[in-house]
Amino acid sequence: MKRLIIFLFTVLLIFSQAKASFAANIDVLPTMQSKSNVQDRVWVGTFQLVWNELMDKVAFGSVRFADGSPDIAVELNKKEFDITDISWKSYYKYLGKISKNTKKTIEKGILRKFNEKSDILDSLDWTPAPKRYVLYAMLKKEFEFSQPFDKLGTAPFRDMTAEYFGIDKQSDKSLGQSVNVLFYNSPNDFAVSLPTMSNDEVFIYKTSTTKPFNYIYADMLKKSENYTGKKEFQYIDELKVPNLKFFEEKEFNELTFMRIKGTQVMIDKAIESVKFEMNNKGVKLKSEAAITTALTSAEPNETETPRLFYFDDTFVVFLKEKEKSKPYFALRVYDISKFE
C-alpha cells in the first residue's frame, strides 16, 4: 500500500511538472509593451484589433473595470496597434450579437476571405442571451522570400540542435542579394532583413535581452541607423536561420468576469491563437482572437574576416508591412525545441 501511494504521488508530481512546463511553453502577449517571465514569447496584433472594437463599440472609450483594471487592460487601452498598421486584405473582423447563426457567419467570412477554418470558434459559448456579443478577428499572412534560401541541415542551437536554412560557402553567391544587413556589431549583436515577394518585411535580430518587444524593435532600428559598416551581404558572409513552426493558444483570464465600468457588460472569454511557420521558402502566419461578452448581474578581400550571421542562440523576429511604421508580429526564440 505504501509503495502504491508513493507511486501515485510520483505520477502526480511528474504530471503537474509537465503541465506547468506546457503552460509556460510559448507565452502569447496581448501588446508589444507586455512583460513576461517566459523566455519564449510571441505577439501578434490580432487581440488588439478585437480590443479596439470593444473600446469603440461597447465601452465607447477606454475599457475600465468597476473593481479596478489590470495592467493588461491599461496597455491595451493605449491602442498602440490598429487597422492603419496592416492592410485590410490581411485581416477579417466581426462584431455582432450572439445568435444561432453568428458562428456560421464568421466561418463563412474567413472561408470567403482567407479560405481558412477557425481554431478557436468551437471553444466559445454560442448561447444567445441579453448583451451577449462576440468580437472576433483573424490576421493571416503567407508570403515567400525573394528567392528560396538553401537548406543547411542540422546544426547546434545553444545546447540543442535545429534545422537551418540560409547561405554558406557552397551556396550560390547571388543569394546574398536576398539579405540586407542592418548592423553587425559582434557575433552576438547583429540584425538582418530578408526581402520577400510581397509587401512584407522580415527582420531578425540576435539579442539576449528580455525587455519588451517595443523596446527591442526601437533598439534594432537605432542600431541600424547608427551603423557605419557595410550593409551589403558580402561574398564571404554566411547566414544561418533555424526553421520555426509552432501553434499556441492563450486565454487572458485576468480580463474576465469583471463588469466594464459604465455598463452592465462583462467579458466572459478572451482568447488568442497563433500559428506560425518560417522556413527556407518563406513565412506562414495565422492568428485569431475573440472576446465574448455577457450581461452582469451589474569575391573576397583576403584581409577581411567573414561575418557569421548565425542565429544559433536567442533571437527575435519582427514582421512588418513596408509602408507601415509598426510591426504586426514579434517572436522571441530561446528554446528552439519548442519550435520544431
Question: Which of the two residues, 315 and 210, has the higher pLDDT score?
Answer: 210
pLDDT of residue 6: 38
Supply the pLDDT for residue 11.
38
pLDDT in tens, 165-201: 999 999 998 999 999 999 999 999 999 999 999 999 9
Q: Are strands 91-97 and 133-144 parallel, antiparallel or unpaired?
A: antiparallel
- Average pLDDT estimate for 61-65: 94
The pLDDT assigned to 24 comes to 52
Q: Of 120, 99, 100, which Cα lies nearest the Cα of 110?
A: 120
d(CA 213, CA 329): 10
Average pLDDT over residues 92-106: 95
pLDDT for position 122: 96
Q: What is the pLDDT of residues 6-30, one digit of tens each?
A: 333 333 434 444 433 344 599 999 9
**What distance in Å separates the CA atoms of residue 20 and residue 190, rounded to the nearest whole number?**
34
Provide the 10 A C-beta neighbour count for residue 115: 8
Of 202, 171, 186, which Cα lies nearest the Cα of 276?
Answer: 202
- For CA atoms 337, 340, 252, 59, give the dihedral sign: positive
**Model-wide pTM > 0.75:** yes
DSSP letter string, 323-340: T-SS-SEEEEES-GGGG-
The pLDDT of 38-57, averaged and rounded, is 97
DSSP string, 177-240: GG-EEEEEEETTEEEEEE-BSSSEEEEEEE----S-HHHHHHHHHHHHHH--S--B--TT-EEE
- In this predicted structure, the answer to whether residue 216 has a pLDDT above a threshold of 60 is yes
Note the pLDDT of residue 173: 86
- Percent above pLDDT 70 for the chain: 91
pLDDT of residue 19: 39
Whether the pLDDT of residue 230 is over 60: the answer is yes
Is residue 103 within 8 Å of residue 128, measured between CB atoms?
no
Residues 83-111 have a mean pLDDT of 96
Model confidence at 110, pLDDT cuts 50, 70, 90, reads very high
pLDDT in tens, 297-337: 654 455 667 888 888 899 899 899 998 999 999 999 999 99
Query: Mean pLDDT, to the nearest integer, of 93-101?
Result: 94
Written as one string, the DSSP assignment of 92-161 is EEEEEE--TTHHHHHHHHHHHHHS---SSGGGS-----TT-EEEEEEEEEEEEBSSPPEEEEEEEETTEE
Indicate whether 112 pLDDT > 70. yes
Q: Contact 203/220 with Cβ under 8 angstroms?
A: yes
What secondary structure does DSSP assign to 267-296, as a single string? Answer: EEEEEEEEEEEE-SSEEEEEEEEEEEEEE-
The residue behind cell 454560442 is 126
pLDDT for the residue numbered 301: 52
pLDDT tier for residue 214 given thresholds of 50, 70 and 90? very high
Residue 14 has, within 13 A of its CA and on its CB side, a CA count of 6
pLDDT confidence of 131, banded at 50, 70, 90?
confident
